[in-house]
Chains A and B, each alone.
Chain A
């Protein structure tokens, strides 16, 4: 056992010496870099149901997927929800939740390949109206190293659902078509557009929907799903719509439905939008033009031959020839 221990120690010393040599070499390159750091944060996927006037516990998991221990701090911070799912930090505590959400104080050290469950206690005010609320927080590693220090932090949020009836209001529009088009005439094999769902109410809304694409020559719809999506009050979300023609020349209809809960979750509202477009493939136009040219050639060729043969047979009578051709042209 002692022999094995000595061998391991000798190997470790040798490795350390190589590292020092390498470090000296790196010094020539004038760049010294420290170790890597990896952190992960897990939050509930669905909104956590809370009740007004009660305290609720929100589970957050801070994970260290790396090979070295990481020390982090978790603190509440305001977030700003933008359009299309974008979230940004406000850079200061959330005025609505900073005194109502308790985050763990101090630093948390997470061992490699381990995690720490953090419980955030939220005291929901009794007067708060039913809605979805977002409790923002930042997990920041404690800085290490010297020189230019780099920090990789994760800002996230937990969504809480204050149960109760609420007024939800959405509008939906289909914008487009995109690409080369004149009105509803689209040059291409498919039509593309954008579904814009705007929240015109005062509460966040979760909606879902679909785009059923049918065409003049195909009645069974091709379904394009719009997943359950959240749109905060005053924001919008965009979804790309697309529908292909069944034949090179076709009328494609986009049948869009957006569904969202009514005042309570047991009822739903639906917005239906139908748009039809002429979709013409460029090669179909080209083929049409070629066909027209061929038809024209087919029509013109016999007459030209006929006119040549006529002109050859009537040498010395050009005036009459011209008259004949002229009369044929009129015909």
Chain B
């Protein structure tokens, strides 16, 4: 065996091993690349599944799926696999946003959306697909796994599960908007007292008005009262007035006859200021005075505020027709 032949064999062996190494590297590289491409399938984000009717077995139901892509790719197929059920109905495409137009097919528990002309969809693109004509499955909880694929069914993103939706046998998803509402009722919008100082029963008279409040305002309400600046005033010569029994906010007992005074007292099921306790009276003012309140909603039973307006006259009171405008204001409290 000559030295030259040994060198030749060694070179040949070196070439073989180099080729083997090269092939190994290529094979490993391809495997790695393939593995990487498989692993590259991202996770769809912001997945949502909603239905227009969640009653089990309901027909003509719209299924709406929204998600955001995680990986840039040429989406040819979007596959929706509903857990544990068999879909029925003939789905139609109600909406497609963020992805091209296409067609829909349903087999078993899978809805497949096929894009007619696939184009590259970048990562982070919100997509919404809504399918009509679905028939809901039996009562139970379901999720949908969503994945995007190329036209050759190579995964791009997913499968990623949606949140769970419950199809119920006897219930339907409802959204009820209840506005903050307040009802205010007054049982008489005007009154007249025909008075005469010669007889006690005609010289001192009252009018009872009942206000009622119903509200669902969380923090309740406040009722206040005010009247004209001049109070009870006549249009006769000199514009005489009947004085207030007390300054607004000062509470006194009703004066004994003879007297010329006007005032009011309040009672009722609402929270009434303590000044009115013991049938105490006060005068009206043009500045609103609180006469009732509540710290919470009334519920179904209206709260009453009973306002007794009382007027007493004597022979010193000028004749004439005295008028006034009393304004009751209810305000819902902020909550």
Contact = CB atoms under 8 A, between A and B. Distances in A.
Given A30-B195, A150-B190, A155 B330 contact: yes
Interface string A9-37: 00000000000000000010011111111
A155 B329 contact: yes
Interface in B161-206: 177-195, 202, 205
A30 B325 contact: no
B194 A30 contact: yes
Contacts of A297: none
A90 B332 CA distance: 15
A36 B218 contact: no
A30 B189 contact: no
B211 interface: yes
Nearest to A33: B188
Contacts of B271: none
B328 A36 contact: no
A146 B327 contact: no
A148 interface: yes
Interface stretch (B10-18, B60-68, B219-227): B219-227
A149 B288 contact: no
Interface in A62-93: 63, 65-66, 79, 81, 84-89, 91
B184 A38 contact: yes
B112 interface: no
Contacts of B180: 42-45
A108 B332 CA distance: 22
Contact of A148 (B194, B220, B224, B326): B326
B96 interface: no
Contacts of A65: 183, 185
B182 A41 contact: yes
B183 A33 contact: no
A230 interface: yes
B209 interface: yes
A115 B331 CA distance: 19
Contact of B331 (A44, A152, A155): A155
Contact of A33 (B202, B207, B324, B329): B207
B208 to A, nearest CB: 9
A156 interface: yes
B334 A146 contact: no
Nearest to B287: A91
B193 A31 contact: yes
B326 A151 contact: yes
Contacts of A31: 191-193, 205, 207
A63 B183 contact: yes
| Chain A interface size, under 10 / 10 to 19 / 20 to 34 / 35 or more | 35 or more
Nearest to A153: B329
B179 A88 contact: no
A229 interface: yes
Contacts of B330: 152-155
B187 A36 contact: yes
Interface string B300-335: 000000000100000000000101111111111111
Contacts of B321: 147
A144 interface: yes
A35 B188 contact: yes
A87 B333 contact: yes
A145 interface: yes
A152 B191 contact: no
B188 to A, nearest CB: 4
Contact of A150 (B189, B195, B218): B189
A87 B293 CA distance: 11
A30 B179 contact: no
A150 B186 CA distance: 8
Contact of B323 (A66, A89, A147): A147
Interface string A105-134: 000000000000000000000000000001
B184 A152 contact: yes
B54 to A, nearest CB: 25
Contact of A30 (B182, B193, B224): B193
Nearest to B206: A31
Contacts of A265: none
B185 A34 contact: no
Contacts of B185: 36-39, 65-66, 152
A227 interface: yes
Given A88-B288, A155-B329, A148 B324 contact: yes
Interface of B: 177-195, 202, 205, 207, 209, 211, 214, 218-220, 222, 224, 232, 288, 309, 321, 323-335
7 contacts: A38-B183, A41-B181, A84-B333, A150-B189, A150-B327, A151-B327, A153-B184
Given A35-B188, A155-B331, 7 more contacts: A36-B189, A42-B179, A79-B331, A88-B331, A147-B192, A148-B192, A230-B334
3 smallest CB-CB distances across A and B, nearest first, come from: A145-B190, A85-B333, A147-B192
